[in-house]
Structure 1
Amino acid sequence: MRGENFYIPMELVDKVKTVKSVNAKFLDHNDPSRPLFVGWSSLLDKYFMSPPSGYTSNYLFEIDNGLCTARNTVDTADGDSITFAMVDPDNVDHIKKAVLMELFGANVGSILEASISGVQLPRHPIKELPAKKVKSLPAKYFSIPKEYLAYYLDVPEAIVNAATPGETAPSNATPNSSTKRKPGRPRKKKAGLKSNQSSILQFFSSAK
């Protein structure tokens, strides 16, 4: 991605999707079909046990009736794996029903009946930008292509109506007559020799 510009989130998502075996998604908390919820910590702490330290060094997790077997790889032998209880093994069915009720309400009796629109956890609050930040953003909009400006806040009309690079200027436009200075340090003009003034080369050539 080095050297590339991404003006909206979906451009970055599409670029990440070009990576083999990666399916990227943009989770927009303003989108009602893909909301982000908070309050998971208190719910999980209420019903689930803390896993043992070091469990994240494994990459494969097999969960069966509340018991988790963690393996480093799919070929890891049973003797090298770790097994731990995620919930109270004597109350698995009760915990399933309790978690479903807290997440989706009393009318949902199975995970097959649940949907994301029925989650009863609080939604992640929208983080509003401070007024000072919003005011400073338009100063950066001039470098954004016109087709992406609709995604951004409070774009000045001068930028919206500005000509896109490559567009033909109107016939009544006044050309810019100012000459652009070349980049780099300006060259100094060489001072000419005065009359009867010898140069350094003449000085040494005469000293024989």
Structure 2
Amino acid sequence: MNIYTPSLAVDEVNKVKSVHGVFLNHNDPSHPFYVGWGDLLDKYFKAPPAGYTANYLIEIDQGVCTARKTVDTPDEDAIVFEMVDPNSTDSIRKAVIKDLFGQAVSTIWEASVRNVQLPRHQTNELTEKKMKSLSAKYFSIPPQHLHYYPSVPDAVANAPVQSADQTDETTTTPSNPKSKRKPGRPRKQKNKLKPNQPSILQFFSPAKQ
């Protein structure tokens, strides 16, 4: 099976029972990703020790994190640190869920990405020139291959394509174009000797008899 876009990947993920996947496309005003995670995490979680990211297996239990290289890494070689106060895990869990998902959500099982209370990333507005360029590129795709690509916004699909005259205006050569260089390796101009200037060839000239 070939998957060409994030949207197609989400469609396949959502075929799994009890799974709801969402593609957080920051260019889509309805699905931009969220920002402000650092402030939320710093509010409730302790900073991890240096070097913990060198491990590939992370276990978290009751606020205590155990980081190992592999599943076979012995306990004495693992990095163990407290992410939160082990005596306050229940209260911290409730506080994080409340700040992240709002008052209406009391457990993680009730939460979804639609409940996230964090600010959304600001979307970038495309200029009219960029929209025309995207429209021209999109409609240059052969129709038989369009199904590989996600549907484009109406603003791109309906953007006027540059006419031949407009294209000529943007690609005209300057009034004083440089002469076209001949193909091949450029020739170096030989430096002319000044009067009475010694040349290196004099050092290799035959010795006078």
Deviation at 1:50, TM superposition (A): 1.0
Structure 1 gap ranges (5+): 1-5, 18-23, 160-184, 186-208
In structure 2, the partner of 1:9 is 5
> Residues of 1 paired with 2:22 and 2:102: CA distance?
28
Give the % identical residues. 52
Q: TM-score, normalised by structure 2?
A: 0.56
Distance 2:44 2:8 in 1: 37
Q: Partners of 2:117 and 2:75 in 1: how far apart?
A: 39
RMSD of aligned C-alpha atoms? 3.5
> How many Å separate the matches in 2 of 1:35 and 1:158?
28
Which residue pairs with 1:107 in the alignment? 104
Q: Is the 8 A contact 1:69 1:82 kept in 2?
A: yes
Aligned ranges 1:129-140 → 2 under 5 Å: 129-140=126-137
Give me the whole-angstrom Cα distance separating, in 1, the residues matched to 2:55 and 2:125.
38
Question: Are 1:47 and 2:44 matched, yes or no?
Answer: yes
Aligned length: 145
Distance across 1 between alignment mates of 2:34 and 2:143: 34
Question: What amino acid does structure 1 have at the position aligned with 2:152?
Answer: Y
What's the offset of the Cα at 1:94? 1.7
Deviation at 1:11, TM superposition (A): 8.8
> Which residue does the alignment assign to 1:65?
62
Structure 1 pair 105/156, CA: closer, same or farther in 2 (3 Å)?
closer
One-letter code of the match for 2:137? K
* Alignment deviations for residues 70-94 of structure 1 (CA, whole Å, 9 cap, x no partner): 0000010101101011112232222
Show the counterpart of 1:167: none
- Superposed CA deviations along residues 140-188 of structure 1, whole A, max 9, x for unmatched, are 34531236385261456779xxxxxxxxxxxxxxxxxxxxxxxxx9xxx
For residues 95 and 156 of structure 1, the distance between their equivalents in structure 2, rounded to whole angstroms, comes to: 51
Give the TM-score of the pair, scaled to structure 1.
0.57
Q: Give the drift of 1:129.
A: 1.8
User: Larger RCO: Structure 1 or Structure 2 (Cα < 8 Å, ≥ 6 residues apart)?
Assistant: 2
In structure 1, what is the equivalent of residue 119 of structure 2?
A: 122
Is the Cα–Cα contact under 8 Å of residues 141 and 155 in structure 1 kept in the other structure?
no
Tell whether the 8 Å contact from 1:104 to 1:114 is kept in structure 2 after alignment.
yes
Alpha-carbon distance between aligned partners in 1 of 2:104 and 2:22, rounded to the nearest angstrom:
31
Ranges of 4+ aligned residues in structure 1 off by more than 4 Å = 10-14, 154-159
Unaligned runs of 5+ in 2: 14-20, 163-182, 184-209
